[in-house]
Structure 1
């Protein structure tokens, strides 16, 4: 397969996030694998951001202890963290001339044999979900065209992740709406039963139903279902009668 064919296949894969069995970990690992096989880099890590903004590595693979140490530092400082916070690609020069703020990351990366570590954000407009760290060995930095391609992959992956998240939220919302609709039908039916049985208005029947539910600390729909089954308000269970001296059998 030519490089152009690999690039095309990558964009197709990154768009395929709407399947019912979508696996986010597998998706992120495919993104890392594609970047590693198409771009001239040694290792790739896809880092996501928690709601509070801190990066984490959601799909760690069987990496060497040295690489694991590099990625641990990358969560706190370095090009991946900067790309996430600035929503812009970070095209590093040689790590030998890296900023002082990257001291821990740089020491671990150089110690592991990496010479360059550009990163691109997982971005959608001005929002970022994380970043992609590209670890390179060799004398020269990553070509500008490859960094642009890496950003295109990251953008496509972000759109796919957002679509998958939106679909899951929509499914959850639909389920909640169905439950709410079913509960409302039960409540309306119970109101009708109580109003007809006791000769009261539907509003009075609803107030009665609600008071009963609060008194028993039960969901309104649960009490409504009991009313439909009886059909009337369920009577509270009588407390067990305490034994008195009169109950004691004569000897």
Structure 2
């Protein structure tokens, strides 16, 4: 591992541990987790699903807002390594999704058609409470590197502790209220992405990047900016033309 990667990894753990701040945004936090997982773990994509208050599982973040990847992670809430992982609380691996059609008859063909051949899902858990899972995807078939799996689990562990520690309430309240609110805000972000994509004639990933960069540049929470945009309180043209959102 290079010194640069060591430094990046150390910075990532510091960022994931630093959740006790007034403007903590769990969606931006999970987005950072998936993006850093791709950068550090030699995988091609990463995503997180979280528990909702009805006992189901929903996608909460991905390393890209590419429509194909978003659909893959949405499909995982019905079948696949991520769902098996949250049900068992254990690591779930697939070295070749094309050979796992019997295991996951709906998910495996869907994932391979999106360009992914190997998968690894690690639980986001604290003792007996499983709040979700982090899935790592690779375009090439073959085993996911053991060091990458170990680091992925470590990242998931720190992220889980950070989310649970961020609220000074009981664990059950966090699971049923905080995480449910997170999933609701994710729906608002999807609506805002659609507004930007249509107004700017751009793809969904570019729309998400503009939305996130605008929120960071204006020192506002991602979910608050998305809500204002979806409600019409923030003009999409203003955001599209903004130097902050374009990184100029």
1:6 matched residue in structure 2 = 8
**Separation in structure 2 between the aligned mates of residue 147 and residue 61 of structure 1, nearest angstrom:** 17
* 2:132 counterpart of 1:127: no
Q: 1:61 and 1:151, CA in 2 relative to 1: closer, same or farther beyond 3 A?
A: closer
Alignment counterpart, residue 140 of structure 2, candidates 119, 138, 141: 138
Q: Which moved more, 1:62-71 or 1:158-167?
A: 62-71
- The structure whose RCO (Cα within 8 Å, separation 6+) is larger is 2
Q: Give per-residue Cα distances to partners, 1:55-97, cap 9 Å, x unaligned.
A: 1122367633322221121011111111111111112221122
Query: In the TM superposition, what are the counterparts of 1:32-51 in structure 2 within 5 Å?
Result: 32-51=34-53
CA contact (8 A) 2:95 2:143 kept: yes
CA contact (8 A) 1:66 1:108 kept: no
Q: What TM-score does the superposition give when structure 1 sets the normalisation length?
A: 0.63
How far apart are the structure 2 equivalents of 1:61 and 1:138? 18
In the other structure, the counterpart of 1:156 is 158
Cα gap change, 1:24/1:81 in structure 2, threshold over 3 Å: closer, same or farther? same
Question: Secondary structure of the equivalent of 2:22?
Answer: coil
* Secondary structure of the structure 2 residue equivalent to 1:58: strand
What is the CA–CA distance in structure 1 between the aligned matches of 2:67 and 2:76, rounded to whole Å? 14
**Unpaired runs of 5+ in structure 1?**
170-251
TM normalised by structure 2 equals 0.64
Q: What secondary structure does 2:27 align onto?
A: helix
Q: Corresponding residue for 1:80?
A: 82
Paired residues for 1:74-223 under 5 Å = 74-98=76-100, 100-166=102-168
Q: Tell me, what secondary structure is at the counterpart of 1:117?
A: strand
Cα distance change, pair 82–34 in 1 and its aligned pair in 2 (3 A): same
* Structure with max Cα Rg: 1
Partner of 1:29: 31
State how far apart, in whole Å, the 1-side matches of 2:61 and 2:95 are. 27
> Is the contact made by 1:49 and 1:55 (CA closer than 8 Å) also made in structure 2?
yes
Give the match's secondary structure for 1:102: coil
After TM superposition, which residue ranges in structure 1, 4 or more long, deviate above 3 angstroms? 59-62
Kept in 2: contact 1:18–1:167 (CA 8 A): no
Aligned-residue CA RMSD (Å): 1.9
Segments of structure 2 that go 5 or more residues without pairing to the other structure are 172-248
1:205 alignment counterpart: none
Higher strand share: 2
- Separation (CA, whole Å) in 1 of partners of 2:167 and 2:103: 34
